Structure 1
Amino acid sequence: MVPPLARTSAEAHLFMDLHPCECGAAGFARGSSVVALDDGDLASRYAGACAGCGREREFLFRLPAQVTAPAADGRFGFSGDRDGPSELLDPGEWLWVADAYAGQAPADPAGVPADQRPRARAVLQRAAAALDEALKFVPAEADEVPAAAVTSERGRAAVAGQPGRLRRSRLVALRDAYTELADRFG
């Protein structure tokens, strides 16, 4: 079986964080290495013992053809049209991730101490980056993500009961709002 593509290490780590061990613990000391696949492609291998039960965990992700340094602005994939949608997370999961990050930041920078502003800015940048990832699932000729693209339980829960949550215009507006708020923490 061909391992899924992890476009960046940030995307790989996020995927691992979202997929806990059978015991429920998400954390494990992740040793990483680059390995050759049978087809000659390269992959990142992350392995280590579960922090909760000690069970060995392993994740294998195909590496992109062109590896770049991690983006300073919190992107999970590449910017622009350089890549397509994630193979690791569906668009609903990206919405869940955006909600989780945005929920860690105050809604108003007024009164936030200077030493806490960089963290608030960073989580809002991550929230905006997650919405950029959800937008990559919107076909060029469409106005929203196809419902069939949401395949995970977490993703379905993130959009359940919220018609229009996967519309391009709504994703863009929310992304822009998070970006603007992040800038206010700068």
Structure 2
Amino acid sequence: MNPPLSRANAEAHLYMDLHACSCGSTRFPRHSSVVVLADGDLASRYTGACEGCGEEREFVFRLPATPTDAGGGFRYGGDEPSQLLDPGEWLLVADAYAASVPAETTGEAAQRARAALTRAVAALDEVVKFAPDGAEIPGAAFVSDRGRQLHQREPGRFRRERLAAVRVAYADLLTQLG
């Protein structure tokens, strides 16, 4: 089996958070190690017992040949589209982070709001990476059930103009929060 590429640790952890155990729990203590694959490439291996049922969980992700540079802020990966999540899943992640922003954004709540909005913006940036040369995102890019369902229900949410407008709104809120 050829493990999928994880461009950054944040992307790998997000993937694990979105893929529940058969009991429905996503929580498990993640013990990580770097392993050598049969082809000589390096991979990250995460293991641990599910907190819901105790079943042993394991995820293996191929590491990029060149680490992703996070210069300029939080990112889930480089310039290429994700191999772990499709554009629909990324939009759902952005929605979840944006929905977690508290109405009251002072003190500690402001820190949580900044963290959530930073991740929402980064997730929106991931959606756009599936649009080749500024074109629309092809239907074939939606490979997960969650992603396909969202695209079928709300295809307009994947228009570049709309994604850009939502990103600007989130970035403006980040600026207001300091």
TM-score with structure 1 length normalisation? 0.90
Structure 1: tracts of 5 or more residues without a match: none
1:46 and 2:31 matched: no
Which amino acid letter does the alignment assign opposite residue 94 of structure 1? Answer: W
1:171 pairs, out of 142, 163, 170, with 163
* Alignment CA distance shift 1:166-1:37 (3 Å): same
Identity %: 60
Q: Distance between the aligned counterparts of 1:45 and 1:162, measured in 2?
A: 35
Q: Distance between the aligned counterparts of 2:17 and 2:72, measured in 1?
A: 20
* Alignment CA distance shift 1:172-1:11 (3 Å): same
Q: Deviations over 1:86-145 (max 9, x none)?
A: 0000000000000000001146xxx53222101101101100100100000001051x11
1:140 aligned residue:
133
Which amino acid letter does the alignment assign opposite residue 87 of structure 2? Answer: P
Which amino acid letter does the alignment assign opposite residue 151 of structure 2? Answer: V
- Structure 1 contact 9–70 (Cα < 8 Å) conserved: no
Secondary structure of the corresponding residue to residue 179 of structure 1 = helix
1:63 and 2:48 matched: no
Q: Distance between the aligned counterparts of 2:54 and 2:153, measured in 1?
A: 38
- Structure 1 contact 104–123 (Cα < 8 Å) conserved: yes
1:102 aligned residue:
98
CA RMSD of aligned residues (A): 1.7
Deviation of 1:73 (Å)? 3.4
Which amino acid letter does the alignment assign opposite residue 84 of structure 1? Answer: E
Which amino acid letter does the alignment assign opposite residue 125 of structure 2? Answer: D
* Alignment CA distance shift 1:159-1:131 (3 Å): same
* Alignment CA distance shift 1:72-1:57 (3 Å): farther
Structure 2: tracts of 5 or more residues without a match: none
Give the number of aligned pairs. Answer: 178
Q: Distance between the aligned counterparts of 1:73 and 1:49, measured in 2?
A: 33
1:35 aligned residue:
35
Which amino acid letter does the alignment assign opposite residue 19 of structure 1? Answer: H
Which amino acid letter does the alignment assign opposite residue 166 of structure 2? Answer: L
Deviation of 1:165 (Å)? 1.3
Please identify which structure carries the higher helix content: 2
Secondary structure of the corresponding residue to residue 47 of structure 2 = strand
Deviation of 1:69 (Å)? 6.6
- Structure 1 contact 121–183 (Cα < 8 Å) conserved: no
1:123 aligned residue:
116
Q: Distance between the aligned counterparts of 1:5 and 1:104, measured in 2?
A: 28
Which amino acid letter does the alignment assign opposite residue 155 of structure 1? Answer: G
* Alignment CA distance shift 1:182-1:130 (3 Å): same
- Structure 2 contact 105–113 (Cα < 8 Å) conserved: no
Deviation of 1:170 (Å)? 1.2
Q: Distance between the aligned counterparts of 2:13 and 2:3, measured in 1?
A: 15
1:91 and 2:83 matched: no
